[in-house]
């Protein structure tokens, strides 16, 4: 899975001012990175994967002027190709369509061939941070933001990237995730932040793929060597032509893609019926600043002050918590800052509920090895409740077929419920990458109990498909901590324990 690739990059690298949530004014210095608006916004919580795919397609089909898409992962599978064709259809209507994709070597798929195929249909593509793994100065600083917006008035953000596993379509591994749909003036702020990233110094415009050039100077080499080089050139040309054909195939839907789209269109809206569109009277948006790199990170004071803005907003909203807080994150890896905040909550006898992955439900084995030691620091405390997801489908909605249902399922939501009427949905994980390296974003809402309850109720539903950990850090029901895990996963769990512990600061 992609998280394992991130670990390898980390291993290679290793060895070679708070704005009050009551303030509705725009702070010129922080805009558009942090902005709170005390005005009504329409919102809906998108828990269903297939429903969230339908919501994106519906949003794109209603675009009249602009579409902005920004993702950490943008694959070329069924869901991704559906989204690409909707972008192309919008561009054909005259909509200005822009797509920004992170170029992490660990997860990058939408290469220059696909970018050119989209550009031929008037879809602009750019890549964020194209640094190679040997460029320690920038390679760790990924753009983990996820959003789609139309016409500056409507947007969706949350945990979902663009790939089958985020939309209940994979027959091997799927994520239970969460997005928020919103409409209102804060969307302009989100688009303005997108523009900052779009114009960043570490963003590149994909080059047009060029036909391989035949090696010059054949006359000075032997006949045997010339023959070898000719064969190699023919193979390169063949691969080039195949890649062109492959990328252009996005223009026409396959039978499988038509079936998936029809399922999303027919069932997607129904899948979202468990939540309603409601009004949030106070909305906040926060994102980290673009352009971070190793040099800025070394200048710790400047970096934390000027770049790590989302975690400051989260800290401000946590002040609303008086009795109970619920954290839903695929990873639970504390650092000095988050550990201090957690201890402060527990010392105040505030109940802290955590929903995260077990080894059986995660695609990041090395994180599970560190988590088991991390969580045991807190499980003996009366006010701390930890739940680990089992890896089975929660049953919260229909799925396309039995193979999808029988796949491994893990939680991927990035959500905090602060009190009985305030919450956050975004891209921020409880780990060091989200705290120190990745750029993240989130939407906050307060004074809306219906929306908050939609979030909390879904978390509690997923907790029913989880194991609660006891005082000793093991499941209360007596089951094994590593239950529902393959032998390979268990072997890697123990093999990676030491290196993962050493590299925890990069996880």
Q: What is the pLDDT of residues 243-282, one digit of tens each?
A: 999 999 999 999 999 999 999 999 998 999 889 999 999 9
- Position 420 confidence tier, pLDDT thresholds 50, 70, 90: very high
Of the chain, the percentage scoring pLDDT greater than 70 comes to 91
State mean pLDDT over 228-253: 93
pLDDT the model gives residue 494: 86
Stretch 49-76: mean pLDDT, rounded?
98
Q: Which tens digit of pLDDT belongs to each residue from 100-156?
A: 999 998 899 999 999 999 999 999 999 999 876 656 556 789 999 999 999 999 999
Element (H, E) at 228: helix 223-248
Q: Looking at residue 5, what is its pLDDT? A: 46
Query: What is residue 133's predicted lDDT score, i.e. its pLDDT?
Result: 63
Query: Which of 141-145, 234-238, 437-441, 496-500 is predicted least confidently?
Result: 496-500
Return the DSSP state at 196: H
Is 13 a residue whose pLDDT tops 70? Answer: no
301-307 long-range Cβ contacts below 8 angstroms, 24+ apart: 305/17
Lowest mean pLDDT among 37-46, 125-134, 235-244: 125-134
pLDDT of residue 27: 53
Q: How many CB atoms lie within 10 A of CB 376?
A: 15
Q: How many whole angstroms separate alpha carbon 501 and alpha carbon 390?
A: 23
Residue 109, CB-side half-sphere exposure with 13 Å CA sphere = 16
Least confident residue range of 47-61, 452-466, 471-485: 471-485
**Partners of 475 in the beta sheet?**
469
pLDDT band of residue 217 (cuts 50, 70, 90) is low
Average pLDDT of the segment spanning 200-225:
83
The model carries a pTM of: 0.91
pLDDT at 212: 87
Q: SS3 for 68?
A: strand
**Where is pLDDT greater, at 261 or 305?**
261
N-terminal to C-terminal alpha carbon distance within the chain: 15
Q: Find the farthest-apart pair of alpha carbons in the chain and give their distance in angstroms, rounded.
A: 81
* Higher pLDDT, residue 294 or 482: 482
**18: pLDDT strictly greater than 50:** no
In this structure, of 24-28, 352-356, 493-497, the range with the lowest mean pLDDT score is 24-28
Pick from 172-181, 205-214, 257-266: least confident: 205-214
> What distances in angstroms separate CA 331 from CA 147, 448, 501, one per listed residue?
21, 27, 14
For the ranges 130-139, 184-193, 297-306, the one whose mean pLDDT is highest: 184-193
The answer, yes or no, to whether residue 382 has pLDDT greater than 90, is yes
Angle, in degrees to the nearest 10, between helices 2-15 and 365-375: 80
How many angstroms separate the CA atoms of 456 and 476, rounded?
22
| b (16+ CB within 10 A) / e for 145-166 | bbbbbbbbebbbbbbbbbbbbb
Residue 492: its pLDDT value, please?
86
Helix and strand numbers, DSSP H then E, in the chain:
17, 20
- Euclidean distance between CA atoms 43 and 309, whole angstroms: 24
Give pLDDT, residue 97. Answer: 98
In tens, the pLDDT along 1-11 reads 444 444 433 43
Query: Is residue 19 scored above 60 in pLDDT?
Result: no
pLDDT at 39: 97
Angle between helix 112-119 and 78-92 (nearest 10): 30
The pLDDT of residue 336 is 85
| Pick among 3.20.20.20, 3.40.50.720, 3.30.870.10, 3.30.1330.10: CATH of 2-207+253-506 | 3.30.870.10
What local confidence, expressed as pLDDT, does residue 68 receive?
A: 98
- pLDDT for the residue numbered 311: 94
User: Mapping DSSP to helix (H, G, I), strand (E, B) and coil, where does residue 102 land?
Assistant: strand
The Cα–Cα gap between 505 and 507 comes to 6
> Which one is predicted more confidently, 13 or 365?
365
Residue 478 has pLDDT above 60, yes or no: yes
Asked if 56 and 82 touch (Cβ cutoff 8 Å), the reply is no
Confidence of residue 496 (pLDDT cuts 50, 70, 90): confident
Stretch 415-441: mean pLDDT: 96
171 or 26, greater pLDDT: 171
**Which residues, other chains included, contact 186 with Cβ-Cβ below 8 Å and sequence gap of 6+?**
35, 37, 41, 283, 284, 285, 443
Is the Cβ–Cβ distance between 69 and 147 less than 8 Å?
A: yes
Mean per-residue pLDDT over the chain, rounded: 90
- Do residues 278 and 448 make contact, with C-beta atoms less than 8 angstroms apart? yes
pLDDT value of position 282: 98
- Is residue 20 scored above 70 in pLDDT? no
Cα separation, 444 vs 424, whole angstroms? 4
Q: Which among 309, 308, 327 is positioned nearest to 318, based on CA atoms? A: 327
| Residue found under tokens 């909203």 | 317
């Amino acid at each position: 899975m992609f998280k394992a690739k991130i670990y390898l990059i980390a291993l290679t690298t290793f060895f070679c001012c708070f704005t009050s949530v009551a303030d509705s004014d725009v702070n010129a210095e922080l805009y558009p990175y942090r902005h709170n608006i005390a005005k009504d916004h329409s919102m809906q919580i998108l828990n269903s994967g297939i429903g969230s795919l339908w919501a994106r397609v519906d949003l794109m089909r209603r675009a009249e002027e602009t579409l902005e898409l920004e993702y950490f992962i943008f694959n070329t599978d069924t869901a991704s190709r559906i989204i690409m064709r909707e972008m192309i259809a919008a561009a054909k209507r005259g909509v200005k369509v822009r797509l920004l994709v992170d170029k992490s070597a660990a997860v990058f798929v939408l290469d220059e061939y696909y970018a050119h195929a989209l550009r031929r249909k008037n879809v602009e593509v750019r890549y964020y941070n194209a640094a190679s793994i040997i460029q320690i100065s920038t390679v760790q600083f990924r753009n983990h933001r996820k959003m789609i917006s139309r016409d500056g008035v409507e947007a969706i953000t949350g945990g979902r990237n663009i790939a089958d596993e985020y939309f209940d379509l994979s027959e091997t591994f799927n994520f239970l995730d969460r997005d928020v749909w919103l409409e209102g003036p804060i969307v302009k702020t989100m688009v303005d932040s997108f523009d900052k990233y779009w114009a960043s110094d570490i963003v590149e415009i994909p080059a047009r793929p060029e036909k391989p050039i035949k090696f010059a100077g054949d006359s000075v080499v032997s006949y045997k060597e010339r023959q070898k080089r000719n064969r190699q050139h023919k193979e390169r040309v063949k691969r080039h032509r195949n890649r062109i054909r492959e990328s252009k195939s996005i223009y026409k839907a396959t039978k499988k893609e038509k079936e998936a789209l029809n399922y999303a269109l027919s069932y997607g809206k129904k899948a979202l019926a468990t939540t309603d569109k409601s009004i949030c009277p106070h909305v906040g948006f926060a994102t980290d600043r673009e352009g971070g790199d190793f040099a800025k990170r070394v200048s710790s004071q400047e970096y934390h002050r000027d770049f790590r803005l989302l975690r400051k907003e989260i800290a401000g909203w946590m002040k609303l918590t008086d009795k109970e807080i619920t954290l839903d994150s695929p990873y639970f890896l504390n650092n000095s800052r988050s550990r201090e905040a957690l201890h402060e909550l527990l010392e105040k006898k505030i109940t802290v509920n955590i929903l995260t992955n077990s080894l059986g439900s995660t695609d990041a084995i090395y994180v599970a090895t560190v988590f088991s030691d991390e969580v045991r620091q807190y499980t003996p405390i009366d006010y701390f409740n930890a739940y680990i997801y089992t890896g089975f489908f929660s049953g919260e909605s229909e799925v396309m077929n039995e193979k999808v249902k029988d796949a491994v399922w893990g939680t991927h939501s990035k959500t905090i419920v602060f009190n009985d009427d305030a919450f956050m949905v975004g891209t921020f994980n409880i780990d060091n990458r989200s705290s120190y390296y990745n750029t993240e974003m989130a939407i906050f809402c307060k004074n809306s109990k219906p929306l908050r309850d939609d979030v909390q109720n879904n978390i509690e539903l997923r907790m029913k498909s989880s194991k609660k950990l006891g005082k000793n850090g093991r499941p209360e029901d007596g089951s094994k901590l590593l239950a529902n895990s393959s032998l390979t996963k268990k072997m890697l769990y123990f093999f990676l324990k030491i290196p993962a512990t050493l590299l925890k600061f990069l996880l």
